[in-house]
């Protein structure tokens, strides 16, 4: 696909009118330039180069698009504004006004028109990224950048937009840089999504003090969710989120390959190996988690792996060459995605067995009915299961050769992958902060820990979950980004509480499942639809209250359900089971009740950063 999406208008095209003569000088879009760098899962993976384009008068064009009457209230339409099918923008109608914006999600470039418009937000149906169609700001999801917005007006019944000839897909949220006069120093432990989101939120909020991010990984922040979705093909540069130029531009120091030791809350210092003591005024613990290793003999053999970092994937790929028998311990997300990757890559040249202590895979998260569906589906794809069985040992001499189950069964193994859960990396603060039983750092609804100067976000944090009233360690990518954002606001003295509905996705054999809510505890499951045809919604409830839902092939049902939970219009399990309330009814309930205002990225931003950006442009 061409980098230049919109070079010349095709004047012969009857449906578009190129009105070059009508151009007037317009504001440069508040957008970053875009490089389309590779294709991933058949979708575009878009990578930002961080040079703000400077548009001149001749770079813009007015384009006549659809009839205003073709768009009803609450509707959106993808409209082609240039010669190729990729030259598209999105036109939406909200509260009687028309808005023109980018049409592609800034995560993997998916067409936003296939999603859903709720209030002024367009929500991507794949992984729940939400963008305001009014200002393009991203509110939620696995994204860091917004979408561009364009001028739109009605002329003689037609909607006319002013767009640049080279369409941009991203709009970077305005950020300030380092202000040397600001003597504050905020230190962020980790460089995962929670950490990166926090650092960017600080700059977006006008914070000019020092920001130091410290990670023991050798790489700048990258999207680790892809590691087990594309295990044999993923390349680090393509999943890297921000490059060094970005961190330099915004004055964010990232120390890579550095192990954080103890945090001293008295002196307000962090010990960093090879660096010494680093002082902080405010600290964010965003150290995530690491794969839990079960206490079984042989788990330390060199051909036994876990998956968390990019180098894990590299090691697995090397060991996989020539492996005939692969045993995967753990039938949940990491284990099942890994099994699907092996099957996809090596087909029948490899025997794969998933060992799971429960009777079906995904039992804890998705329950018995959906778990059984996954089991049957995987078996049809040639994956074997050893279910209801624990592992006694991994045996071998020098390297693993067998996985021995508790019933004495010996599974031959040239390679073993363990995916049995995540343990929080809370050691640096274990002596100084309150920890939950599972080792997570206890934080309040503002993500503040037991020390007033220290916040926690992401997989390492145990947070109050407003929807159920419980306390959870929610190990999801979007959640880490959201928590990092909230923690950063509160580090700056705001009082923003954590009130989101978690979202998670998984993808195997080209099919995606979307999960909303958090159903660690549920006592009832109802599945509507057809599991065998990958077209269903599963509801999970506790005491008749729906706490989570998993769906496949029903996009954008997950987005509707998530929103219904957020604004309190979710039906009871009884209502859903009896057929009284369908997904369409839930959508209507949403339209009828305006949502309560929760802190999302765009909505929470401080105007100072935007003002600073405007100033920068003037200069």
Ligand X SMILES: Cc1cc2nc3c(=O)[nH]c(=O)nc-3n(C[C@H](O)[C@H](O)[C@H](O)COP(=O)(O)OP(=O)(O)OC[C@H]3O[C@@H](n4cnc5c(N)ncnc54)[C@H](O)[C@@H]3O)c2cc1C
CB of 45 to ligand FES, least distance (A): 9
CB of 586 to ligand X, least distance (A): 23
> By CB under 6 A, is residue 334 in contact with ligand X?
yes
Two tokens at 384? 């074997």
Tell me the sheet residues that pair with 151.
162
> By CB under 6 A, is residue 462 in contact with ligand X?
no
Q: Name the segment binding ligand X (CB under 6 A); options: 19-27, 439-447, 472-480, 601-609.
A: 472-480
Two tokens at 536? 């269903």
- Answer for which of 506, 508, 512, 562 binds ligand X (CB under 6 A) is 506
| Contact predicate 216/260, CB 8 Å | yes
CA-based nearest residue to 556, from 118, 61, 101, 88 = 118
Residue 136 touches which of ligand X, ligand FES, none (Cβ within 5-8 Å per kind): none
Residue 480 touches which of ligand X, ligand FES, none (Cβ within 5-8 Å per kind): ligand X
- Answer for which of 60, 144, 504, 522 binds ligand X (CB under 6 A) is 504
Residue 613 touches which of ligand FES, ligand X, none (Cβ within 5-8 Å per kind): none
Residues 6+ apart with CB under 8 A from 12: none
> By CB under 6 A, is residue 124 in contact with ligand FES?
yes
Tell me the sheet residues that pair with 572.
545
CA distance 315 to 301: 13
CA distance 383 to 340: 8
CB of 121 to ligand FES, least distance (A): 13
Residue 107 touches which of ligand FES, ligand X, none (Cβ within 5-8 Å per kind): ligand FES
Question: 225 vs 525, which CB is nearer to ligand FES?
Answer: 225
- Answer for which of 92, 101, 172, 287 binds ligand X (CB under 6 A) is 287
Task: Please identify which residue in the block is written with the tokens 């703000």.
Answer: 52
Terminal Cα distance for the chain, rounded = 35
Q: Name the segment binding ligand X (CB under 6 A); options: 52-60, 74-82, 144-152, 504-512.
A: 504-512
CA-based nearest residue to 487, from 597, 359, 335, 599 = 599
| Contact predicate 464/574, CB 8 Å | no
CB of 40 to ligand X, least distance (A): 13
Task: Please identify which residue in the block is written with the tokens 């206490």.
Answer: 295
Task: Please identify which residue in the block is written with the tokens 């001149």.
Answer: 56
Residue 126 touches which of ligand X, ligand FES, none (Cβ within 5-8 Å per kind): ligand FES
Residue 216 touches which of ligand X, ligand FES, none (Cβ within 5-8 Å per kind): ligand X
> By CB under 6 A, is residue 107 in contact with ligand FES?
yes
Residue 275: helix, strand or coil by DSSP? coil
CB of 190 to ligand X, least distance (A): 3
CA distance 619 to 614: 9
- Answer for which of 94, 103, 129, 576 binds ligand FES (CB under 6 A) is 129
CB of 413 to ligand X, least distance (A): 21
Tell me the sheet residues that pair with 516.
503, 549
Between residue 167 and residue 196, which ones bind ligand X under the rule CB under 6 A?
Answer: 190-195
Question: 140 vs 499, which CB is nearer to ligand FES?
Answer: 140
> By CB under 6 A, is residue 228 in contact with ligand X?
yes
> By CB under 6 A, is residue 110 in contact with ligand FES?
yes
- Answer for which of 29, 61, 76, 105 binds ligand FES (CB under 6 A) is 105
CB of 439 to ligand X, least distance (A): 12
Question: 150 vs 505, which CB is nearer to ligand X?
Answer: 505
CB of 488 to ligand X, least distance (A): 13
Task: Please identify which residue in the block is written with the tokens 């939620």.
Answer: 140
Residue 163: helix, strand or coil by DSSP? strand
CB of 295 to ligand X, least distance (A): 21
Phi and psi based region of residue 160 (left: phi greater than 0; alpha: psi -120 to 50; beta: remaining): beta
Residue 477 touches which of ligand X, ligand FES, none (Cβ within 5-8 Å per kind): ligand X
Q: Name the segment binding ligand FES (CB under 6 A); options: 122-130, 175-183, 329-337, 572-580.
A: 122-130
Q: Name the segment binding ligand FES (CB under 6 A); options: 106-114, 433-441, 446-454, 506-514.
A: 106-114
CA distance 316 to 324: 14
Residue 519: helix, strand or coil by DSSP? coil
Q: Where does residue 495 rank: exposed (0-12), middle (13-18), buried (19+ CB within 10 A)?
A: exposed
> By CB under 6 A, is residue 285 in contact with ligand X?
no
The secondary structure of the chain in percent helix, strand, coil, rounded to multiples of 5, reads 25, 30, 45
- Answer for which of 51, 67, 69, 259 binds ligand X (CB under 6 A) is 259
Neighbouring C-beta atoms of residue 450, cutoff 10 Å: 16
CA distance 15 to 31: 27
> By CB under 6 A, is residue 217 in contact with ligand X?
yes
Q: Please, what sign has the CA dihedral across residues 19, 22, 27, 28? A: positive
Tell me the sheet residues that pair with 67.
158
Q: Which residues lie near ligand FES (CB under 6 A)?
A: 105, 107-108, 110, 124, 126-127, 129, 141-142
Q: Which residues lie near ligand X (CB under 6 A)?
A: 190-195, 214-217, 224-225, 227-228, 259-260, 286-289, 307-308, 334, 425, 428, 458-460, 475-478, 480, 504-506
């Amino acid at each position: 696909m061409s980098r230049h999406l919109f070079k010349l208008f095709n004047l012969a095209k009857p449906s578009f009118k190129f009105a070059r003569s009508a151009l007037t000088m317009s504001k440069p879009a508040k957008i970053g330039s875009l490089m389309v760098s590779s294709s991933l899962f058949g979708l575009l993976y878009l990578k930002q180069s961080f040079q703000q384009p400077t548009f001149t008068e001749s770079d813009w064009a007015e384009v006549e698009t659809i009839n205003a009457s073709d768009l009803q209230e609450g509707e959106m339409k993808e409209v082609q504004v240039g010669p190729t099918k990729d030259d598209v923008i999105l036109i939406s109608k909200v509260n009687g006004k028309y808005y023109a914006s980018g049409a592609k999600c800034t995560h993997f470039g998916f067409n936003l028109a296939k999603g859903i418009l709720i209030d002024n937000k367009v929500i991507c149906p794949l992984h729940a990224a939400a963008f305001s169609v009014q200002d393009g700001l991203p509110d939620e999801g696995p994204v860091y950048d917004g979408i561009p917005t364009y001028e739109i007006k009605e002329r003689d019944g037609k909607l006319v937009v002013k767009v640049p000839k080279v369409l941009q897909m991203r709009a970077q949220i305005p950020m300030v840089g380092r202000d040397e006069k600001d003597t504050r120093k905020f230190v962020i432990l980790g460089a995962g999504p929670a950490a990166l989101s926090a650092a960017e939120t600080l700059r977006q909020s006008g914070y000019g003090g020092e920001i130091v991010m410290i990670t023991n990984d050798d790489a700048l922040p990258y999207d680790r969710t892809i590691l087990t979705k594309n295990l044999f093909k993923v390349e680090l540069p393509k999943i890297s989120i921000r490059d060094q130029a970005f961190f330099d531009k915004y004055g964010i120091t990232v120390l890579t390959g550095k192990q954080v030791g103890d945090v001293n809350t008295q002196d307000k210092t962090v010990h960093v190996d090879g660096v010494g003591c680093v002082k902080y005024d405010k600290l964010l613990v965003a150290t995530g988690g690491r794969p839990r290793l079960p206490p079984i003999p042989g788990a330390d053999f060199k051909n036994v792996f876990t998956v968390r970092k990019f180098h894990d994937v590299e090691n697995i790929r090397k060991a996989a060459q020539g492996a005939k028998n692969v045993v995967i311990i753990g039938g949940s997300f990491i284990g099942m995605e890994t099994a699907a990757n092996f099957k996809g890559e090596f087909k029948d040249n490899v025997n794969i067995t998933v060992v799971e202590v429960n009777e079906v895979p995904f039992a804890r998260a998705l329950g018995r009915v959906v778990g059984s569906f996954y089991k049957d589906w995987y078996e049809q794809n040639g994956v074997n299961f050893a279910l209801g069985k624990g592992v006694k040992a991994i045996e071998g001499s020098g390297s693993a050769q067998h996985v021995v189950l508790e019933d004495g069964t010996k599974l031959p193994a040239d390679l073993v992958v363990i995916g049995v859960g995540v343990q929080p990396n809370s050691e640096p603060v274990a002596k100084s902060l309150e920890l939950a039983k599972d080792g997570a750092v206890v934080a309040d609804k503002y993500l503040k820990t037991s020390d007033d100067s220290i916040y926690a976000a992401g997989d390492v944090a145990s947070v109050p979950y407003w929807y159920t009233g419980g306390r959870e360690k929610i190990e999801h990518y979007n959640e880490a980004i959201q928590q990092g954002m909230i923690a950063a606001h509160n580090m700056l003295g705001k009082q923003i509480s954590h009130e989101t509905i978690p979202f998670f996705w998984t993808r195997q054999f080209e099919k995606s499942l979307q999960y909303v809510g958090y159903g660690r505890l549920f006592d009832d499951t109802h599945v509507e639809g057809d599991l065998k045809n990958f077209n269903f919604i599963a509801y999970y409830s506790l005491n008749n209250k729906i706490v989570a839902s998993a769906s496949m092939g029903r996009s954008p049902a997950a987005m509707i359900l998530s929103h219904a939970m957020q604004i309190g219009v979710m039906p009871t399990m009884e209502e859903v089971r009896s057929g009284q309330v369908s997904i369409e009814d839930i959508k209507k309930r949403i339209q009828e009740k305006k949502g309560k205002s929760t802190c999302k990225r765009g909505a929470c931003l401080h105007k100072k950063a935007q003002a600073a950006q405007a100033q920068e442009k003037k200069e």
